[in-house]
Amino acid sequence: MASAARSGAAAALMVAVAVLALAAGGSAQLQQGFYKGKCNGIDVEAVVQGIVKSWFAREPPVIAYLLRMQFHECVINGCDGGLLIDGPGTEKTAAPNLSVKGYEVIAAIKAELERRCPGVVSCSDIQILATRDAVALGGGAAYSVRTGRRDRRRSLASDVKLPSPDYTAAQTTAYYGRLGLSTFDTVLLLGAHTVGATRCAAIKSSRLYAYGGRPGATDPGLDPAYAFMYKTYVCPNVPSSDNNVVFLDDQWSALKVDNHYYRNLQLRRGVLPCDQNLYNDGSTRWIVDLLANNAGLFTSLFPQALVKLSEVNVLTGTQGEIRKVCNRFN
């Protein structure tokens, strides 16, 4: 009994420390309600929310599109709209970004706001606001974000160095650590895979047919029933299956922002190695267990981690520019 009490107290203390860490950081020049009174009496955030809601009604996977876009945007030079730029050699053309979707949503929001108040709202703020609204529509918690970002005049494919889907837990946490994010932040942020998807090509070698570089070997750390399902029905070992969709959470939960992703890791059903490795490593397993066993904890903390990510290396004040359209510099 005493041991259980000590264990519970220790877990509570670790959560409290993690929450304090989540609350820290951010750009002091960003503000709540930055656009209030700056758009001819229009509520900028309500405009964004309305357009995202209309897209969600006809295309629910927009949740995953926008979450993924925020990740791919903010980890490269910060949340600066660089991913949105068209043209040869831009971030958008880097191999990991070729499958990013949702650009049309951002363009639609920008066009409406330019119509109402030209040159006021940045593309980078639109991305963060749109993601926030998509998370809430997907069953996540509603949360506030600070705005006032400006758009950077830089977008280079050579800058794009994203974390590998095959990373160990140590490699993943080190990657996000360089952005000022904690281990707890990192495990929370990978919870975005609750609405994510990949392709069979991403797991056929690493998990199903050549584990450890051995031809025909299947990752013994993958639930055998799931390995059988993937190999038999979803990702058979033929080239034509490479582009088949694999949900990173169970399909019935793949459009819900919930903690089911972590429960799957406990059951050895993580799809990408970087996901399952969070549970295989003792330094992150305890966080997975906390989030898997308490749905409310993930719901409340996931937005805080997204906010921290959204404030990485932002431009404010007179830095950068406010683009007229999001896919090209002024």
Q: Does 193 show up as a binding residue in the annotation?
A: yes
CA angle 310, 311, 315 (to 5 degrees): 115
Which long-range contacts does 4-13 make (Cβ < 8 Å, 24+ apart)? 11/286, 11/290
Q: Does 219 show up as a binding residue in the annotation?
A: no
**Residues forming a β-bridge with 31:** 147
Q: Does 91 show up as a binding residue in the annotation?
A: yes
| Active-site hit among 48, 70, 71, 72 | 72
Sign of CA dihedral 327, 83, 81, 47: positive
| Pair 83, 100: CB distance under 8 Å | yes
Pairwise CA distance, residues 256 & 194, whole Å = 7
Question: Distances in Å between the alpha carbon of 318 and those of 35, 70, 84, 157, 252?
Answer: 15, 23, 20, 25, 46
User: Around 56, how many Cα atoms within 13 Å sit in the side-chain half-sphere?
Assistant: 21
| Pair 201, 209: CB distance under 8 Å | no
**Residues forming a β-bridge with 197:** 247
260 tagged catalytic: no
Q: Does 194 show up as a binding residue in the annotation?
A: yes
Q: Does 80 show up as a binding residue in the annotation?
A: yes
Q: Does 249 show up as a binding residue in the annotation?
A: no
Which residues are part of a known binding site for Ca(2+)?
A: 78, 80, 91, 194, 250, 258
Which residues belong to the active site? 72
Which residues are part of a known binding site?
A: 78, 80, 91, 163, 193-194, 250, 258
Which residues are part of a known binding site for heme b?
A: 193
Which residues are part of a known binding site for substrate?
A: 163
